[in-house]
Amino acid sequence: MAADASSVPTSQPALRHDWTRAEVEALFALPFNDLLFQAQSLHRQYHRPNSVQLSTLLSIKTGACPEDCAYCPQSVRFETGLKKEPLLDVEVVLEAAREAKDNGATRFCMGAAWRSPKDRDLERVEAMVRGVKAMGLETCVTLGMLKPAQAERLAGAGLDYYNHNLDTSPEYYGKIISTRTYEDRLDTLANVRAAGVKVCCGGIVGMGEEQSDRAGLLQQLANLSPHPESVPINDLVQVAGTPLKGADSLGGIEFVRVIAVARILMPASYVRLSAGRTAMSDETQALAFFAGANSIFYGEKLLTTENPQNARDRALLVQLGIQTEGAVAPSAAAEAGAGCGAGAAAAATSCCG
């Protein structure tokens, strides 16, 4: 009997957490077809090859962020014309989550433009997490830096994923942001892990960095132990008023290389096509799926930037023969989040992946 092409083999290579920069750069140097063949072959050992997970991202508090991330229109330091909005009411967020689920999303991500949340703000965010969880959706938030006790509170509300990106390589990081250190980001990831919440962590490409910096970012991610369960890769969305407006664009082939190398380094993780898809051709996205991307942000907006319309995404997935993952049953989701903390990735214009 022929093997089911949608099945996942039971034998899988061991995951590594000791990649050297030279090894990662050597992957980037492979001929394009060889790189994609290796990535797709490995992808099939861990995932269904024609399946994609859909996430929806909502900005629950917009603008007035004190950080100086050079890519972000939500920074109070840049004149981008963005209208700031306070933390949304819980019911407004839950209504958006219901709509996202009706449109096929299985994970609902909530992003707030904070350097770090104040304890008084967490009570409302916890209510959002509990409400979204009760719908049978996976939950993810990105709120900036977290203290250990804050991570524990979110875990207690049933949070599944916390997003906190590394953005770029340690060497290039200082050219992008000065108000938060690389170690600050790693500390938040450690606090999230210690609380039992899964990690969504990736970065942004196309910010003027060299290929060695893209290799450095992926090396950092791949040497986290365990790997981030979700790895969002953002292609910079340039916004007028930000310092990175006018940066050289990366190009589709190099973006697909990043996806392929991420898949090889972190074969069991979900690799998400995040910000920047509006400007991508269908052909570039198809190559990215072949290279190992198996998650997308689905919906017409990512925090404050445009995203492909749902109809365009559906048409592309149908054309490629890619199916979407099914929703989590509400009863199972409620049981998974009851009393145990964690359950079972932003955009290029924010700290969320």
The model's pLDDT over 78-88, given as tens digits with 9 standing for 90+, comes to 766 777 788 89
Binding residue positions: 65, 69, 72, 109, 140, 200, 272
Query: Active site residue: 107, 109, 180, 351, which one?
Result: 109
Q: DSSP assignment, residue 238?
A: -
Contacts of 77 (CB under 8 A, 6+ apart): 66, 68
Q: What is the pLDDT of residue 49?
A: 93
Cβ contact 129:94 at 8 Å = no
More confident residue, 338 or 166: 166
Query: Is 352 an annotated catalytic residue?
Result: no
Query: Is 201 an annotated catalytic residue?
Result: no
Q: DSSP assignment, residue 98?
A: H
What are the E-state strand segments in the chain? Answer: 51-61, 107-112, 138-142, 161-163, 198-200, 203-205, 230-235, 270-273, 295-297, 301-302, 305-306, 323-324
Q: What's the rounded mean pLDDT across residues 197-226?
A: 97
pLDDT tens by residue, 144-156:
999 999 999 999 9
Binding residue positions for [2Fe-2S] cluster: 109, 140, 200, 272
Cis link prior to 267 (omega < 30° from 0)?
no
pLDDT tens by residue, 322-336:
999 873 444 333 333
More confident residue, 302 or 100: 100
Query: Active site residue: 107, 130, 140, 180, which one?
Result: 140
Q: What's the rounded mean pLDDT across residues 202-226?
A: 97
Query: Is 351 an annotated catalytic residue?
Result: no
Pair of tokens at residue 212: 């060695």
Residue 166 has pLDDT above 90, yes or no: yes
Q: What is the pLDDT of residue 10?
A: 61
Q: What's the rounded mean pLDDT across residues 278-300?
A: 91
Query: Active site residue: 107, 130, 200, 277, which one?
Result: 200
Q: What is the pLDDT of residue 193?
A: 97
Q: What is the pLDDT of residue 5?
A: 54
Q: What's the rounded mean pLDDT across residues 163-179?
A: 95
Residue 244 has pLDDT above 90, yes or no: no
pLDDT tens by residue, 18-70:
999 999 999 999 999 999 999 999 999 999 999 999 999 999 988 778 788 88
Q: What is the pLDDT of residue 340?
A: 29
> Got the DSSP string for 242-289?
STTTTPPP--HHHHHHHHHHHHHHSTTSEEEE-TTGGGS-HHHHHHHH
Whole-angstrom Cα distance, residue 89 to residue 118? Answer: 16
**Per-residue pLDDT band at 299 (split at 50, 70, 90):** low
Query: Active site residue: 130, 257, 272, 277, which one?
Result: 272
Q: Which fold has domain 28-336?
A: TIM Barrel (3.20.20)
Whole-angstrom Cα distance, residue 271 to residue 289? Answer: 9
The amino acid occupying position 251 is G
Query: Is 140 an annotated catalytic residue?
Result: yes
Pair of tokens at residue 16: 């590594």
Contacts of 306 (CB under 8 A, 6+ apart): 237, 278, 300
